[in-house]
Structure 1
Amino acid sequence: MKRVVIAQTGSVGPDVSDLFGDFPDWFARLLRGRAEPLVARAPGDLASLEPFDGVVVTGSFASVTAPEPWMDALSAELLRIARERPVLGVCFGHQLLARALGGRVERNPRGLEAGACEVALTPAGRDDPLFDGVPDRFLAHELHEDHVAELPPGAVRLAGNAMSPVQAFRAGNLRAVQFHPEIDLARARFFATRDRQDHDRRVPGGSEAVRASLAETPAAVRCFHNWLARYVGAAEPQAGDVRCASSTR
């Protein structure tokens, strides 16, 4: 069985983890039966987990716009690994990789993107194996304020939308997505309820709009399974596995 490192870049906090587990648990659910999950919780841990076949970089409540030494250390490790093996960045991981490659990450002037949002593939995205079997427009769960404002040199944009024009990109063995394939409907509902006052403070009626948007997002989950199959070389998912089950762990 293939071995995939989950590079943990933050923690969800006890209010979430008591119900749903922490960031690595969310990805481990999608790896179940297809690859062995290994968790790296700090820069330097990656080397100690050798051998492995790929790395997925989680989301975080930290911000790439406020750099810390551990971000630079992790970025250096990821770029080294990506010379030979596949790396997938998700949300914060997407932004971290963009910055490491020379792209620009900033607080999104259009505001917070939250809920199940439509994402559109570019022509390059339609041809990339990451999006095999994914429609040109699909729903994906989002929860972020920062975004990739400028692609790194040589990177190719794979998907976008009006709120965050760079929703996915590729650069060599790196793939990165702004959206969350690992967030299922149960987790999305929890965040929408927990953060409703914040949504309403930002935009009148914002919490209602976020809750109304929520839906299953099988196409986004398909992207993660595609990464495992096409880049890591893990076994293809069984029928029905492209849906992100609403389990607690």
Structure 2
Amino acid sequence: MRIGILECGSNRPEWARFGRFADWFPPLLAQAGRTVDTRAWTVSEGVLPSDARECDAWLLTGSPASAVDDAPWQQALSAFLRPVIDRQPVVGICYGHQHLHRMLGGTVEQCPAWGVGVQHYALQDRPDWLGDPADATGFDLVALHHDQVTRAAPGTRVLAGSAFCPLGVTQIGSHTLTFQPHPEMDPAFAAEVYAFEKHRIGAAETLAALTTLDRPRDTARAARWIMAFLAHHLEDRT
């Protein structure tokens, strides 16, 4: 399986030690116990695949950009994805989740508060492609977002969510899986961003979020969900 990582943003120079956004996904997906080949394109800098057949599936990363900006690179990303989305499985993480919902007819808006800290997303609907019954439960994962999907794209199944973020994990149609939280994110990186954005998040809210970052996170479960979703569609296509 070759997964194309569509990198939707880049780190600030002072956070270069954490690597590129695309770097975080191969270690995450490896937690599912299946070897995958990945290739990355920096779509936020205008670099897109020349042919969707270069990969079996696609994954959109997070981004410091807003999904409502409609910058040229965002329009180009949508143009690439539209003919792909009914033929190949696509996964969206945080910004990617928002971009896909908006592209497919949903609404993304800025929230009054930030989604930060390790948040719990309770299971709402068990997907039929999930192989292991033990994985049919919710997630505790790192959140980092100010925008949020407030109206899902048509044809969405809500798989997991919270009171603050009802559309936390979704399936749009049959070929698209999205996560608002960040299963790939190092809590140390999240702490850096929370501190940097403290003036916007709020002092008390930042402190509360920082105190959650040492909690256990369900990153391996999220990886198994992603890989089960991709494997189901690729095996079905074969």
Q: Same fold (TM over 0.5)?
A: yes
Number of matched pairs: 226
What code does the residue aligned with 1:146 have? D
Q: Which residue of 1 aligns with 2:236?
A: none
> Shift of the alpha carbon at 1:162?
1.5
| Aligned positions of 1:63-74 closer than 5 A | 63-74=66-77
What code does the residue aligned with 2:37 have? E
Q: Which residue of 1 aligns with 2:40?
A: 39
2:82 aligned residue (54, 79, 82): 79
Q: Which residue of 1 aligns with 2:140?
A: 139
Q: Which residue of 1 aligns with 2:110?
A: 107
Q: Does residue 161 of the first structure (1) align with residue 159 of the second (2)?
A: no
What code does the residue aligned with 2:100 have? L
- Same amino acid, percent of matched pairs: 31
Q: Which residue of 2 aligns with 1:20?
A: 18
Provide closer, same or farther for how the CA distance between residues 96 and 205 of structure 1 changes in structure 2, counting only shifts above 3 A: same
The answer (yes or no) to whether the contact 1:141–1:217 under 8 Å persists in 2 is no
Q: Which residue of 1 aligns with 2:188?
A: 189
Greater shift, 212-221 or 192-201, is seen at 192-201
Unaligned runs of at least 5 residues, structure 1: 235-249
| SS class of match (2:54) | coil
Task: Give the alignment's Cα RMSD to 1 decimal.
Answer: 2.4
Q: Which residue of 1 aligns with 2:129?
A: 129
| SS class of match (1:112) | strand
1:58 aligned residue (61, 67, 72): 61
> Shift of the alpha carbon at 1:201?
5.8
Cα separation, 1, equivalents of 2:219 and 2:121: 9
The answer (yes or no) to whether the contact 1:121–1:136 under 8 Å persists in 2 is yes
Unaligned runs of at least 5 residues, structure 2: 234-238
Q: Deviations over 1:193-240 (max 9, x none)?
A: 453364366434223211211135542432223322442469xxxxxx
What code does the residue aligned with 2:159 have? L
Q: Which residue of 2 aligns with 1:29?
A: 27
What code does the residue aligned with 2:178 have? A
> Shift of the alpha carbon at 1:145?
0.3
TM-score (norm 1): 0.81
Q: Does residue 150 of the first structure (1) align with residue 151 of the second (2)?
A: yes
The answer (yes or no) to whether the contact 1:86–1:174 under 8 Å persists in 2 is yes
Cα separation, 2, equivalents of 1:38 and 1:207: 35
Q: Which residue of 1 aligns with 2:178?
A: 176
Q: Deviations over 1:71-91 (max 9, x none)?
A: 122123223222111100000
The answer (yes or no) to whether the contact 1:4–1:53 under 8 Å persists in 2 is yes
Q: 4+ residue stretches of structure 1 with deviation over 4 A? A: none
The answer (yes or no) to whether the contact 2:25–2:184 under 8 Å persists in 1 is yes
Cα separation, 2, equivalents of 1:116 and 1:194: 14
Cα separation, 1, equivalents of 2:127 and 2:109: 28
1:120 aligned residue (98, 119, 122): 122
